[in-house]
Amino acid sequence: MDSNYDPQAIEAKWQKRWADEKLFETEAALGRKKYYVLEMLPYPSGDIHMGHVRNYSIGDALARYMGMKGYNILHPIGWDAFGLPAENAAIKSQRHPSEFTFSYIDRMRGQLQRLGVSYDWRREIASCVPEYYRWNQWFFLKMYERGLAYRRKSRVNWCPECETVLANEQVVDGCCWRHEETRVTERELEQWYLKITAYADQLLDDMKELVRWPERVLTMQKNWIGKSLGTFVDFTVSGLWKPLRIFTTRVDTIFGCTAVFLAPEHPLVEELVASSKEPTRLREDVERIKSSAVRARVELNLDKLGVDSGFTARNPYNGEAVPIWLANFVLMEYGTGAIMAVPAHDERDYEFCSAYRLPIRTVIVPEGTDSAAWADPPLKAMVEYGRLVASGPYSGLSSAEAMERMTGDAEAKGFGEGTIQYRIKDWGISRQRYWGTPIPMVYCDACGIVPVAEKDLPVILPPNVKLTGRGHSPLADVPEFVHTTCPKCAKPARRETDTMDTFVDSSWYFYRYTDPKIATAPINKDVVKYWFPVDQYIGGIEHAILHLIYMRFFTKVMRDIGLVEFSEPVARLFTQGMVIKDGAKMSKSKGNVVDPTEMFAKYGADTTRIYMLFAAPPEKDLDWSDAGIEGAARFVNRVYRLVAKHAGKLEGVRAGKLRAKDKAALTAEERRLLRKAHQTLRHVTEDMEERWHFNTDIAISMELVNDLTDLEAAVAAGKIRPAAHRTALEFLVTILSLFAPHVADELWEGLGHAEPLLKVSWPAFDAELAAEDELELPVQVNGKLRARIRVAASASEEEIRTRALAEEKVIQHLSGRQVVKVIVVPQKLVSIVVK
């Protein structure tokens, strides 16, 4: 074989061979154990970036390892192909978004193929084609049938940059998740919603199945769902017949309620203003409070502002009338938009009531406290549970007992009830944009809102459209799209002109891979049954509460409509770290982007992958270093030269398993080499099963290369015979095939093998050969290292003790002192304690 390493030629050669031999093509095979490796599908933005390279290198290492372990591997890829960037580019250049999208897909497909990932490209999908998005529409109709898709008018998040609505999940720190600098504003709009809240409890409960998901992701989802148990309590308002309902999780503190706070947007506010003695002043105050309300601001910890409405509310538990205030920190969208203020036992209420000099009254004391000794008013809010005081008939109860009794009493007397509140809101999916899935609904003057008939799907996105980016649905300007007939009464009607959030597309795409072309249903149930669940999903943490919660929701709906028989689609999730450079996330605006294709051209895909996996463990952020990739290139070169140099001479030599008598006949050098080779294989095998610290796998492979280099002289002198030498080289190349598959196959071929490594079984390490036969044990005297002794690995404790105590350095440190204790830890060390 060529003595010079030429990555460009080698990588092209093997990519062609793999494709010609259909090496990555796979089919469901009942009875054969399967493994589904899934990586998050990319948005076709034009070029792959280092984050993709990292994500797909991790997935490929796993897919190749599991493949060599004998699993039937499903390893697909596709394109999250609808979305705003293409549409925005289209607006600028007055071309069609599909032009950008498909040319970007072609480009990025080429780049991924250049990376040599083991994808079954026949399964590639793109979400922007009607064959795919018709099933988004189908799911929508199924949800509509079940009341899980509905339309309502509400205040929504609006990104001025995207010119469209955002779901709550897509608002980060008051800004758009795509435009970190762009403040989200509010609009009142009619929107379609998917009722994810109907599954809130299941999304929580089923987390117990997700034992192989990172705790961090589960915690984030838990917080996002934000389930809390509490009580509704109806206060009566002075001068109004309608009760005011508040929500609290601490009804046990209600005797300490000294005010009621309303969100400035609360519907009652209008009535209060109308019947106020000073309506003008009150309205002005309300507007002032509103403008400082929580939702409208990004920076937090602003002062709490409030205004006294002049009205009072009567606490049904003790009949006390307390003032009603409007407060800027009360959220309309959580609970009822009205709360009881218990300053003694809530920090926010404490802050507010102190500022406005509202009374503060202690009604809970810590267990075991003498209530008479309790400072009242307190110096700060006591928010813990405790025992009730000054709470009428409930005094003396614990918080837990009181909450139960008091909620029960409210229900019995009709002024309240127990309730469960969630932070999660229904998923608003309407987008006032073009490049997405049309929502398959029709508005008929006679019949109202009518779903498109299933047989009439897909509702095709019309190709001829003028994109202006001016904040309303572009489809509304396409008369031939808008004008249709009512599916029910056949009279003229109008189509919905909003499109779906693209997170709908990615909520079920991984099912489609299992039978990507099926035209009669979104998925092929039988094939899904074989491949699911996804055994390993790999992607970035940034999707922890967006995609990863929507996806779980979709699966539960799919289960309920009979498509699948399980509740959770992904058994194991791995979240990789980001690729950063100079301490910052790579981005065009920061100008610190490293282009993978340049790295492929300069070093090859194998070296780029090796560097990506070597520089840090995969879950941690990886700091890009130009010098680092040079080191990876050096390593790949060394391996290449080392194997290429010997490949010819090893032709015809077999590297079989060694039997006991073969082992006994090994030379010392052979033992040393085989020990290292089997240790390396053991490390990598164990690591691939669980830990995935590819950086250490590559490091130990480097050690093997170092040993092989050290032993070159022994090879030349015949002290290492070809069979042992071949074994070590083959282990090295086999391991390398997980991380640098092209050069590995080239070297494997050079060693005389006809089949690519992916068709070879992963070798088993020999624990006996991997074992050390002599160990160097440290000897400590009073915790300080004083000597090292070499002993046989099989040495008894007594032998080790004797050897250690006989060591000259040890004797020096023992002189004049008394040995108190000698601790011998076999295989580890000797620790001598003296006085």
Find out whether 184 and 163 touch, Cβ atoms under 8 Å: no
Looking only at residues 578 through 617 of this chain, which bind RNA when binding is defined by CB under 7 A? 614-617
Looking only at residues 805 through 834 of this chain, which bind RNA when binding is defined by CB under 7 A? 809, 821, 823, 825, 828-829, 831, 833
d(CA 242, CA 396): 33
* For RNA, the closer CB: 1 or 834: 834
* For RNA, the closer CB: 427 or 531: 427
Find out whether 176 and 170 touch, Cβ atoms under 8 Å: yes
Paired tokens of 44: 């076709």
Looking only at residues 421 through 480 of this chain, which bind RNA when binding is defined by CB under 7 A? 421, 423
Looking only at residues 78 through 137 of this chain, which bind RNA when binding is defined by CB under 7 A? none
Residues 6 or more apart in contact with residue 638 via CB below 8 angstroms:
705, 709
Paired tokens of 66: 């599991």
Site string for RNA, 35-54 (x = CB under 7 A): --------------------
* For RNA, the closer CB: 29 or 825: 825
Question: Shortest Cβ distance from residue 673 to RNA (Å)?
Answer: 15
Question: Shortest Cβ distance from residue 403 to RNA (Å)?
Answer: 11
Q: How many CB atoms lie within 10 A of CB 285?
A: 19
Looking only at residues 288 through 347 of this chain, which bind RNA when binding is defined by CB under 7 A? 294, 300-304, 328-331, 334-335, 337, 339-340, 346
Question: Shortest Cβ distance from residue 171 to RNA (Å)?
Answer: 9
Question: Shortest Cβ distance from residue 225 to RNA (Å)?
Answer: 10
* For RNA, the closer CB: 400 or 823: 823
Question: Shortest Cβ distance from residue 583 to RNA (Å)?
Answer: 9
Question: Shortest Cβ distance from residue 260 to RNA (Å)?
Answer: 11
Residue 27 burial (CB < 10 Å; 0-12/13-18/19+)?
exposed
* For RNA, the closer CB: 450 or 541: 541
Question: Shortest Cβ distance from residue 356 to RNA (Å)?
Answer: 14
Find out whether 788 and 778 touch, Cβ atoms under 8 Å: yes
* For RNA, the closer CB: 456 or 712: 712
* For RNA, the closer CB: 620 or 759: 620
d(CA 343, CA 351): 7
At position 347, the amino acid (one-letter code) is E
Question: Shortest Cβ distance from residue 398 to RNA (Å)?
Answer: 18
* For RNA, the closer CB: 6 or 703: 703
Site string for RNA, 621-650 (x = CB under 7 A): xxx-x-xx-xxx-xx-xx------------
Looking only at residues 671 through 700 of this chain, which bind RNA when binding is defined by CB under 7 A? 683, 686-687, 691, 693, 695-696, 698-699
Question: Shortest Cβ distance from residue 287 to RNA (Å)?
Answer: 17
- Ranges of beta strands (E only) in 713-818 are 774-781, 784-792
* For RNA, the closer CB: 212 or 216: 216
Residues 6 or more apart in contact with residue 828 via CB below 8 angstroms:
777
CA 309 vs. chain centroid, Å, equals: 46
Q: Which stretch binds RNA (CB under 7 A): 137-145, 460-468, 552-560, 702-710?
A: 702-710
* For RNA, the closer CB: 464 or 818: 818
Q: Measuring CA to CA, how many Å separate 554 from each of 122, 135, 219, 423, 560?
A: 25, 13, 20, 19, 10
Nearest-5° angle of CA 75, CA 76, CA 82? 155
* For RNA, the closer CB: 104 or 213: 213
**Is-cis flag, bond preceding 97, omega within 30?**
no
Find out whether 216 and 544 touch, Cβ atoms under 8 Å: yes
Looking only at residues 782 through 801 of this chain, which bind RNA when binding is defined by CB under 7 A? 782-785, 788
* For RNA, the closer CB: 280 or 818: 818
* For RNA, the closer CB: 103 or 706: 706
Nearest-5° angle of CA 334, CA 366, CA 222? 35
Strand ordering across the sheet containing 448-451 = 448-451, 441-444, 492-495, 483-485
Looking only at residues 366 through 425 of this chain, which bind RNA when binding is defined by CB under 7 A? 421, 423
Q: Which stretch binds RNA (CB under 7 A): 59-67, 99-107, 280-288, 770-778?
A: 770-778
- Ranges of beta strands (E only) in 299-435 are 306-314, 321-327, 338-341, 364-365, 387-388, 416-421, 427-428, 430-431
Question: What backbone phi and psi angles, to 5 degrees, belong to 212?
Answer: -100, 20
d(CA 766, CA 96): 60
Q: Which stretch binds RNA (CB under 7 A): 18-26, 90-98, 563-571, 618-626?
A: 618-626
Paired tokens of 156: 């929504």
Find out whether 235 and 314 touch, Cβ atoms under 8 Å: yes
Element (H, E) at 114: helix 97-115
Paired tokens of 711: 């032993």
Among 485, 709, 796, 802, binds RNA (CB under 7 A): 709
Instruction: Tell me how many residues contact RNA (CB under 7 A).
Output: 86
* For RNA, the closer CB: 111 or 680: 680
* For RNA, the closer CB: 558 or 684: 684
Question: Shortest Cβ distance from residue 715 to RNA (Å)?
Answer: 13
Find out whether 756 and 18 touch, Cβ atoms under 8 Å: yes
**Is-cis flag, bond preceding 492, omega within 30?**
no
Question: Shortest Cβ distance from residue 705 to RNA (Å)?
Answer: 7
d(CA 756, CA 759): 6
CA 569 vs. chain centroid, Å, equals: 14
Looking only at residues 177 through 236 of this chain, which bind RNA when binding is defined by CB under 7 A? 215-216, 219-220, 223-224, 226, 228, 230
User: What SS3 state is found at 337?
Assistant: coil
* For RNA, the closer CB: 586 or 632: 632
Find out whether 524 and 515 touch, Cβ atoms under 8 Å: yes
Question: Shortest Cβ distance from residue 765 to RNA (Å)?
Answer: 13
Question: Shortest Cβ distance from residue 367 to RNA (Å)?
Answer: 20
d(CA 332, CA 326): 11
d(CA 744, CA 750): 10
Site string for RNA, 725-764 (x = CB under 7 A): ----------------------------------------
Question: Shortest Cβ distance from residue 207 to RNA (Å)?
Answer: 15
Question: Shortest Cβ distance from residue 747 to RNA (Å)?
Answer: 16
Question: Shortest Cβ distance from residue 578 to RNA (Å)?
Answer: 9
| Beta pairing partners, 823 | 831
Question: Shortest Cβ distance from residue 642 to RNA (Å)?
Answer: 8
Question: Shortest Cβ distance from residue 348 to RNA (Å)?
Answer: 4
d(CA 15, CA 107): 17
* For RNA, the closer CB: 493 or 787: 787
Nearest to 734 by CA among 704, 770, 772: 704
Site string for RNA, 710-729 (x = CB under 7 A): x-------------------
Looking only at residues 147 through 176 of this chain, which bind RNA when binding is defined by CB under 7 A? 172-173
Find out whether 626 and 581 touch, Cβ atoms under 8 Å: no
Tell whether residue 703 is a contact of RNA (CB under 7 A): yes
* For RNA, the closer CB: 653 or 822: 822
Strands 171-172 and 243-248: unpaired
Site string for RNA, 540-559 (x = CB under 7 A): -x---x--------------
**Is-cis flag, bond preceding 377, omega within 30?**
yes
Q: Measuring CA to CA, how many Å separate 533 from each of 66, 73, 530?
A: 16, 13, 9
